[in-house]
Structure 1
């Protein structure tokens, strides 16, 4: 909620209060692999149409609308992207009929006036023809693939944030005009983000005096810019994959091709580990983890007035073949105390089987359960009681192989005399609430395998 709030503040503090003059269109292209690479020769390409193929209309709350959700000018956007790339020379094909008519008018006019002027040239230069034509379009527009928000209100004062994401998908293919063979087929998707924040105050300041204040702002990413960014990316990938497959030649020869291939493999590997909602599906944890914890120990036994005491724990965690499952071997040293009644120190040895619910995410919930034995520190040579423990928490990875975790654990003893008092029908037990660090060692099981090219 905090991140979304401060992201939207840029719009809130730049609210428009006057009209703006026309300006050069916004730039959507980011730094690319091919920015510093130039072609040996530009390729002539033709684009007949690159339009909306979804038939999707703008979503509205009530009723229907005949306004399309996707721009109908995809061909113009693609031609601009091809021109800006410096790798292609686009030629007019979308309105070829208008071009042919105009050429016919030129030819007829020159023939008519050449009767009185013998030096008049009646012929006109031939049209350029394309060795490659580009086809495709926007094939999907998915509304509300993820929606959400948060808010709070107390004593007439409240605020809220909302967000929504849509998604467009385009395909771009290069077709040889001599053989009809599809040389390349590119697939690109882009999300469209909408955000809104609002705050309000509703309070009686005096009898029959009501103060009501409202403010807010909504920010919608323009769909046209999203389409342009997706098309720019598709043209970039068309150039890169064409260089790797030898369809077009860059200046610099084989070293340049190798450099492009290396960077593209890295990008391809990153894309292969990214799920639909920009979740990185990459195992960031090694096969073994050393865990150090500090925890507050709270007894629940036959005495009252339980006192929280600090305990420490060290363990080693081993991951199975599947990243989520693991086994944990640990030892704890802690103290149990009931004010004015009971106080003693203990050592426990535990074995747990755990599962990371989202093993590829930086923020990972986890659960675990297992058995252990607890010993009175004054009688270290034998164990007073076996126990069953279970717990859960959440772990955050600021960097690879380092986790910060917050957890809570319940320990159920198999005896009622751990506090040297047998009373009631329930056995003694105690809670642990703590904070810990996980240091991961070794390579993960599911390392990313880059896509190799022949």
Structure 2
């Protein structure tokens, strides 16, 4: 019975972890509803009003990927993304309030209808009303908006986790796709491409399931399973990317002084400053939402403190202190050489307690050198010196021992000049006399763990 309760608890955990989807399962037909907003719709609607809306024409904003939906046994004749890009773009232009969209996608239909109206008016004028006004001319556009969906990448990130124990288990999986659009504004007076913007949007799919399989009695089997899958609509992601592209085109047009808000220069400058800040953050974000940091400094000074744990011949091993000063010289983005001086205390309780100093020369390799959070590994030779302080006399140096050290660490860059680092290392001494006693065949070791700051600068 206890196993049954555990199974129910585990199933409940998986259900409530995705309860928004699981507890709102569709059971009945739903009526039509107004289309939902994307993540960028409200941002587009919140733009300040334009000083003078611009007439724009959109002939075609189409799917340029040529991709079809992938299925397990090949592909279908259904396209991977919506073919209604022009309609979405016109809606976004209308919602922004900055443009007056002009019908150009089905210009033949418009021209045919105008010819019918014109012929009808001519007959009406000739036979009934000579004063009937003529058909007004078509609006013409100052800008043509071109572009399209240029990329739809699937499975750019996939992953998941799962576990099963004694017939009870569950798993969670996810997948990310990405859609990319380009939008450009072309002047109808001379054909100049005034501005081009590029926007990408990720599309998330998630699946969570749980199962229970157990013999509860002789010839009595209990089996249960449940799960939920959630897929972000591709159409909504495409709408989001197009609306973001329209927003960016408007702000970059303000920056180039092609148009302006009703509020004038003050509102323009504020809008452009916010956009530039957001754009710099977007351009510095890498895959998996890793934040890129551009660093040009070739030198750094570091200070750190932490603890030391001996691993020698004594059973008692207490945590002592460790302090370090360090200079790093960088050769490219990945590799640097460092020279460090360390003061540390080896504490074996009443059996042995002493202060040492060490000098280390390390080669360090950064695994993700352009990320804000960058792991690194290092190794190199060094030497450790016994610091002796007899009573009533000055500090003097005792025995010197050679060693090697290696370690791993993680550095978080607060800015281009300041980084916070956490590291741990093992020091292997080429002697068994470090703690003043020789016992066994193994040499003495000790470990350092520290937290510190690095300051980066150029000479």
Question: TM-score, normalization: structure 2?
Answer: 0.83
Relative distance call for 1:36 and 1:277 in structure 2 (3 A) is: same
Equivalent residues of 1:311, 1:334 under 8 A apart = yes
Equivalent position to 1:330, from 342, 349, 354? 342
Supply the distance in 1 between the matched residues of 2:370 and 2:125 (Cα, whole angstroms): 76
Q: Does 1:417 align with 2:433?
A: yes
Question: Does 2:304 align with 1:291?
Answer: yes
Other structure's SS at 2:323 match: strand
CA distance in 2, matches of 1:290, 1:265: 35
> Structure 2 matches for 1:184-203, cutoff 5 A?
184-203=195-214
- Does the 8 Å contact 1:136/1:173 carry over to 2? yes
Tell me which of 305, 312, 322 is aligned to 1:313: 322
The residue that corresponds to 1:260 in the other structure is 271
In 1: Cα distance, 2:173 partner to 2:31 partner: 31
User: Which residue in the other structure is 2:356 paired with?
Assistant: 347
Secondary structure, counterpart of 2:82 in structure 1: coil
Q: CA deviation at 1:96?
A: 0.7
Q: CA deviation at 1:77?
A: 0.3
Q: Give the whole-Å Cα distance in 2 for the aligned partners of 1:393 and 1:298.
A: 20
- Aligned-residue offset at 1:43: 0.3
Ranges in structure 1 where 5+ consecutive residues have no aligned partner: 446-454
Alpha-carbon distance, 1:402 to partner: 6.6
3-state SS of paired residue (2:70): coil
Structure 1 position 155, deviation (Å) = 2.1
Return 129-138 or 192-201, whichever deviates more. Answer: 192-201
Judge conservation of contact 2:178–2:203 (CA < 8 Å) in 1: yes
> Does the residue aligned with 1:67 lie in a helix, a strand or coil?
strand
- The DSSP-based 3-state class of the residue aligned with 2:46 is helix
* 1:46–1:5 Cα change, 3 Å: farther
Aligned to 2:6: none
Residues 292 and 437, structure 1, Cα contact 8 Å, conserved in 2 = yes
Runs of 4+ deviating beyond 6 Å: 4-7, 376-380, 397-400
Structure 1 stretch displaced more, 256-265 or 144-153? 256-265
Contact 2:94/2:100 (8 A) holds in 1: yes
Separation in 2 of the partners of 1:18 and 1:85? 36
Cα drift, residue 300 of structure 1 = 4.7
Post-superposition Cα deviations, 1:305-348, rounded to whole Å, max 9, x if no partner, equal x44421221223444345653624322223247xx9x6444424
Q: Partners in 1 of 2:321 and 2:148 — Cα distance?
A: 60
Q: Structure 2 matches for 1:414-453, cutoff 5 A? A: 414-422=430-438, 426-432=441-447, 434=449, 436-441=450-455
CA contact (8 A) 1:34 1:236 kept: no
Aligned-pair distance for 1:362? 4.8
2:176 corresponds in structure 1 to: 165
How far apart, CA to CA, are the structure 2 residues paired with 1:255 and 1:319? 45
Quick one: distance in 2 between partners of 1:220 and 1:233? 21
